[in-house]
């Protein structure tokens, strides 16, 4: 079964052709990082305009690289939400038009389900239910997920998503966008203990997260001490140590809560997905701590952590297996939340 996936929920225009939910025939991602970079975050109106410009060439290129014609597709899958409505509508309209013109079924996919399904794009895949940490720019949540594509929310962030915290602090430091990647790079080899930033663990039994206190603490630090410098000066913390300490505060909580969820639900399999799951320190800590405590870890390759269309085609395959395509294909509307 060959599915064309289309993703345009935020600032990446992506299309991919995937066979049987796992075999990637092509994956094309047109990034808008350079366009939004100077603003330190995604500008929704600019994103929609760029999606309009990119969508047809990106889809064409995905089909061409896969060596598959529109007629050979079994279905077309598209992200319906959550995301920026103007951005989502571009992918959704393109998918509807193609499905209608080619007479193919359309499968609507929830963006977060897409991220969760990326767990099946790791080298080995979970065989039973697993704990899934979804960490991206818009979401931070823990799910109990199943192989058939169903999932149950255990707890989400009450305020900022982890990626959002990375992006906002990187903007404050003036070190580039997307902030997560910039902080990850700076933090490499630096001292994560240089500043003891607060870790918000919420109530003891809670799987909820909160990163606004950490963000405020980091901003207060800069207000009190000024921007950290790149060169070591007597008694001061460098930019690299600041980045490592900030990153460690986020990673500590993410790792701790994921392991606690697995213990509490008696599951041995843990996956981490979404843009922040590309973080090298998070990947390293999860690998070490799951191994030492006898859990199995599933991490998608970095290219399938950040937004892509392979995960959308993959999720659509499981939806199809479970319940077939959507019946109100042309009436489908985008949703922001």
Q: Which of 113, 160, 167, 269 binds ligand KG4 (CB under 6 A)?
A: 167
Q: Which strands sit side by side in the sheet containing 296-298, from one edge to the other?
A: 151-156, 140-145, 130-135, 269-273, 296-298
The residue among 126 and 137 lying less far from ligand KG4, judged by its C-beta, is 137
The answer to whether residues 328 and 23 touch, using CB atoms and an 8 Å cutoff, is: no
User: Which token pair is 323?
Assistant: 């319940």
| 8 DSSP β-pair partners | none
Q: Which of 130, 143, 166, 304 binds ligand KG4 (CB under 6 A)?
A: 166
Our finding on whether 192 is near ligand KG4 (CB under 6 A) is: no
Check residue 307 for interaction with Zn ion (CB under 5 A): yes
209 binds ligand KG4 (CB under 6 A): no
Residues β-bridged to residue 140: 135
Using CA atoms in the order 81, 86, 87, 88, what is the torsion angle rounded to 10 degrees?
Answer: 30
In angstroms, give the least distance from the CB of 165 to ligand KG4. Answer: 8
Minimum CB distance to ligand KG4, residue 62 (Å): 18
Q: Could you say whether residue 178 binds ligand KG4 (CB under 6 A)?
A: yes
Instruction: Single out the residue of 3, 6, 10, 313 in contact with ligand KG4 (rule: CB under 6 A).
Output: 10
**Min CB(113)–Zn ion separation in Å:** 11
Contact region with ligand KG4 (CB under 6 A), list: 86-94, 134-142, 261-269, 286-294: 134-142
Is there binding between residue 137 and ligand KG4 (CB under 6 A)? yes
Question: Which of the listed partners (ligand KG4, Zn ion, none) does 208 bind, with a CB threshold of 5 to 8 Å by partner kind?
Answer: none
Distance, in Å, from the CA atom of 51 to the CA atom of 85, rounded to the nearest integer, reads: 12
Residue 243 interacting partner from Zn ion, ligand KG4, none (CB closer than 5 to 8 Å by kind): none
Report DSSP state, residue 156: E
Three-state DSSP class for 278?
helix
- Number of residues binding to Zn ion, judged by CB under 5 A: 2
316: left (phi over 0), alpha (psi -120 to 50) or beta: alpha
Q: Which two tokens stand for residue 104?
A: 């193919």
The rounded radius of gyration (Å) of the Cα atoms in the chain is 20
Q: Give the Cβ contact number of residue 46 at 10 Å.
A: 15
Scanning residues 85 to 104, which ones bind ligand KG4 (CB under 6 A)?
none
Could you say whether residue 167 binds Zn ion (CB under 5 A)? no
Within 35-191, strands assigned E span 75-81, 106-110, 130-135, 140-145, 151-156
Output the smallest distance, CB 105 to ligand KG4, in A: 25
Binding range to ligand KG4, per CB under 6 A, among 37-45, 48-56, 175-183, 238-246: 175-183
Please give the residues from 117 up to 136 whose contact with Zn ion meets the rule CB under 5 A: 136
- Residue 330 CB, nearest approach to ligand KG4 (Å): 26
Backbone φ and ψ of 101, nearest 5°: -65, -35
Phi, psi values for residue 109, rounded to 5°: -125, 140
Give the footprint of ligand KG4 on residues 236-275 (CB under 6 A). 274-275
228 binds, among ligand KG4, Zn ion, none (CB under 5 to 8 A by kind): none
Interface residue list for ligand KG4 (CB under 6 A): 10, 136-138, 163, 166-167, 178-181, 184, 274-276, 278-279, 306-307
Interface residue list for Zn ion (CB under 5 A): 136, 307
């Amino acid at each position: 079964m060959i599915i064309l996936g289309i993703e345009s929920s935020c600032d990446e225009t992506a299309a991919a052709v995937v066979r049987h939910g796992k075999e990637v025939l092509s994956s094309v991602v047109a990034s808008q990082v350079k366009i939004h970079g100077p603003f330190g975050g995604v500008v929704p109106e600019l994103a929609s305009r760029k999606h309009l410009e990119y969508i047809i060439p990106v889809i064409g290129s995905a089909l061409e690289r896969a060596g598959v014609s529109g007629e050979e597709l079994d279905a077309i899958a598209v992200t319906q939400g959550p995301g920026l409505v103007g951005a989502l509508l571009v992918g959704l309209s393109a998918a509807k038009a193609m499905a209608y013109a080619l007479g193919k079924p359309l499968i609507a996919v929830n963006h977060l389900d897409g991220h969760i399904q990326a767990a099946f794009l790791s080298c080995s895949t979970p065989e039973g239910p697993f704990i899934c940490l979804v960490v991206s720019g818009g979401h931070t949540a823990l799910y109990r997920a199943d192989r058939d594509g169903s999932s149950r929310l255990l707890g989400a962030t009450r305020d900022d998503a982890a990626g959002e915290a990375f992006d906002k602090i990187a903007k404050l430091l003036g070190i580039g966008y997307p902030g997560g990647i910039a902080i990850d790079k700076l933090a490499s080899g630096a001292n994560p203990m240089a500043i003891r930033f607060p870790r918000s663990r919420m109530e003891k039994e809670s799987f909820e997260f909160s990163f606004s206190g950490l963000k405020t603490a980091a901003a207060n630090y800069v207000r009190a001490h000024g921007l950290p410098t790149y060169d070591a000066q007597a008694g001061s913390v460098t930019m690299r140590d600041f980045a490592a300490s900030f990153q460690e505060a986020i990673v500590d909580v993410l790792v701790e809560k994921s392991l606690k969820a697995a213990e509490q639900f008696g599951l041995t399999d843990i996956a981490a997905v979404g843009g922040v799951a590309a973080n090298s320190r998070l990947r390293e800590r999860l690998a070490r701590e799951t191994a030492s405590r006898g859990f199995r870890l599933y991490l998608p390759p970095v290219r399938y952590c950040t937004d892509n269309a392979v995960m959308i085609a993959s999720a659509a395959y499981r939806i199809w297996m479970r319940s077939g395509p959507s019946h109100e294909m042309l009436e489908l509307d985008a949703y922001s939340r």
